[in-house]
A and B are shown apart, each in its own frame.
Chain A
Amino acid sequence: MSSGPPDQIVPLNEANVVVGPDAPAEITVRPRSLIRIVLLENRAAMIGTIILVITTLIAIFAGVLAPHSPTEQIGPVYAPPSSKWWLGLDDGGVDMLSQMIYGARISMIVGFAGAAVAMIIGGGVGIISGYFGGRTDIALMRVTDYFLVIPDVPLMIVFAAVFGRSLLNIIIIIGIIYWTSTARLIRAQVKSVRERVYVKRAQSLGAGHNRLIWKHVMPQVVPLLVANTVLTIATAIFAETYIAFLGLSDPTKSSWGRLIQNSLTGGAIFHNAWWAVVPPGLAVTVVILACTMIGQALEDALNPRLKVGHLSVRRFRVRPFSARLDTR
């Protein structure tokens, strides 16, 4: 048998058609590794991935990259950017650039971990609820509704007041607040896959829950979960930012949100110290944008109905009419 690109069949004989009982009319490429293909083809997603990778690398190698200490004063308060300190100094005379680099670490940790917690809780609830249906579904959805209704900011404040302002607590609170939308999305997907004919067939054969969930349902759910998690990372990073801005985060760990808060309490505006305000805000925006671009590209690829190409104004083309003689 001749070989070809891994996911396409090459016709077996010279003729235009693969002959055999009811041979295929169309041969389509299977979206083997959807994630890989999307990220390579979609420019926005590629840019987003590069940004995220760079930020993660900065966070990991902060110790090596930061030029000065992120906690010690090395110069005058609100010293402007110069060749000695590229992003200037903040209200405590601490190097902004170093704080930014170490801040990446905190923001990324909180973002990824918080999203992971949300994904585990939300994914689990969604799968159980969607697969088993009935009373389990109703009960779990009630719980989801309760969590949806709780206002996030007051909950954060109460949580921080009661359990303290540690990093771990922030991760937990983000997970608690943001799992609900994942749960709903996953539940919907699981319910729809559950109804597919091939699942019903496996069930009529006598397949148990284990097999149905792991072999049939999960493969259809995981890509969606991944796409949703990427978007949740964006939300988690933003959540960390405003939690810190509200002063509810660990004051010893200067995340980007903390830096913004510092600039507020330190009166950076009165000192015209834009370098204390803009860089952290910009950094948060860029990272969230990167996550959103990746997440959207994945979601679009998974749900072709989201495409709006058919709404384009462009119309079909007319080629010049060539009055053919009857050559046939």
Chain B
Amino acid sequence: MSENGTLLEVSDLVTRYPVARGVIGTIARRPRLQVHAVEGVTFSVGAGEMLALVGESGCGKTTTAQTVMRMVEEDSGQIRFRGRDLTGLSHRDLRPIRREMQIIFQDPYESLDPRFRVRDTVEEPLLIHGGGSAAERTEKITEALVRAGLTPPDLYVNRYPHELSGGQRQRVAIAAALVLEPKLLVADEPVSMLDVSVRAGILSLLDELRKSGLGILMITHDLSTAAHFADRIAVMYLGRIVEEGPAREVVRSPRHPYTKALVSVVPKRDPRDRTVPQILKGETPNPVHVPPGCRFHPRCPIAIDACQGTDPALEPVPGGGAEHRGACIRM
């Protein structure tokens, strides 16, 4: 990734949440527990590229996105946006950078203020960041709505959210994110609450935006969506990236046992495709108590004794491209 092309570089990001102890816990002097949400995550997103952070609930993908957007404070690590490290910046210094990084949330029914018209929602970022005269603002709003696929814009400008469908609301949220002409878009499960027939439209829109030069960090639990639309996939488990690489390669030749299991278990469209799913036992452990050594070893079908002792780092997989990496001693 060339220096000019890289938008976002996250290095060794760690974010933890304290778990409330309660009165009895404090009196009994129970040790302060922490939710190890993000435990050393490193990745980058370039302009015109879509990286999908994939994983199940509790893996830390949403917390990673929130930390990148500075909605949550990190414990350690670096977040470089266009070369500048965001982690040390004050509120005031962050303001100009906030224009360039925008986020879209999962719930289209909740991400719009029900009392704001579409116009007000899309205008708000301009008002916060000083978007020029009223005429200039109107022009930018119109442009943003068109870019988000809401044409003709006049049809939508004065509507309230409850008058729009889920897909349209999500487009309004996208328009509001585009109006400041950002460089990076973070999409947290952008389509999981939408009907199937509508999802492709939104994902295609994101694809179009990517082609026009935007960098997109997409958070999703849906491997099929990631495989189809993302350039690269990073699979997360309990706060770490366990495998990453070009989307097609990760999905067609997964190397980490977790990825392999995940891929085998995703239902396929074709009823005749009856590959035997490799169903793991149990559920993802609570991120408060992370297993020692390799965090996946208690559920891993190929774990050996050594797995309890070593916490593997991401290494290039044997026989794959340099971009394809996995964190397993048995690859």
Contacts and interface: CB of A to CB of B under 8 A. Distances in A.
In-complex A–B contact (CB below 8 Å) = yes
Interface of A: 1, 9, 20-28, 30, 196-208, 211, 215-216, 219-220
Given A201-B105, A206-B95, A211-B128, A23 B163 contact: no
Nearest to A29: B162
A207 B121 CA distance: 13
Nearest to A20: B155
Given A20-B168, A30-B160, A202-B113, 18 more contacts: A22-B168, A22-B171, A22-B201, A23-B165, A24-B164, A25-B165, A27-B163, A28-B162, A28-B163, A198-B111, A198-B112, A199-B113, A201-B103, A201-B105, A202-B128, A203-B71, A207-B128, A211-B127
Contact of B171 (A21, A24, A25, A27): A21
B107 to A, nearest CB: 6
A15 to B, nearest CB: 16
A26 B155 CA distance: 17
Interface in B263-320: none
Contact of B113 (A25, A203, A208, A216): A216
12 contacts: A1-B155, A21-B167, A21-B168, A22-B201, A28-B162, A30-B114, A30-B163, A198-B121, A206-B95, A206-B98, A207-B124, A215-B113
A202 B167 CA distance: 20
B110 interface: yes
Interface of B: 69-71, 94-95, 98, 102-103, 105, 107, 110-116, 121, 124-125, 127-129, 149-150, 155, 159-160, 162-168, 171, 173, 176, 198, 201
B110 A198 contact: yes
B98 to A, nearest CB: 5
Nearest to B148: A21
A206 B112 contact: no
A196 B103 CA distance: 15
Contacts of A200: 71, 105
Contacts of A216: 113
Contacts of A24: 163-165, 168
B32 to A, nearest CB: 19
A204 B110 contact: no
A202 B124 contact: yes
Contacts of A30: 114, 160, 162-163
B71 A204 contact: yes
Contacts of B129: 205-206
B124 A21 contact: no
B184 to A, nearest CB: 13
Contacts of A23: 165, 168
A208 B115 CA distance: 19
Contact of B110 (A20, A197, A206, A215): A197
9 closest residue pairs by CB, A with B: A22-B167, A24-B165, A197-B110, A198-B113, A197-B111, A206-B98, A22-B198, A219-B115, A21-B149
B114 to A, nearest CB: 8
A133 to B, nearest CB: 14
Contacts of B121: 198
A201 B168 contact: no
A25 B195 CA distance: 11
A208 B111 CA distance: 18
B279 to A, nearest CB: 34
A205 B110 contact: no
B124 A205 contact: yes
Nearest to A8: B163
A196 B111 CA distance: 8
Name the residue among B160, B163, B164, B167 with the largest chain A CB count within 10 angstroms: B163
A206 B105 CA distance: 16
A201 B179 CA distance: 14
Contacts of A207: 124, 128
Nearest to B194: A22
A201 B168 CA distance: 18
Contacts of B167: 21-22
Nearest to B95: A206
A51 to B, nearest CB: 31
Contacts of A215: 113
A205 B125 contact: yes
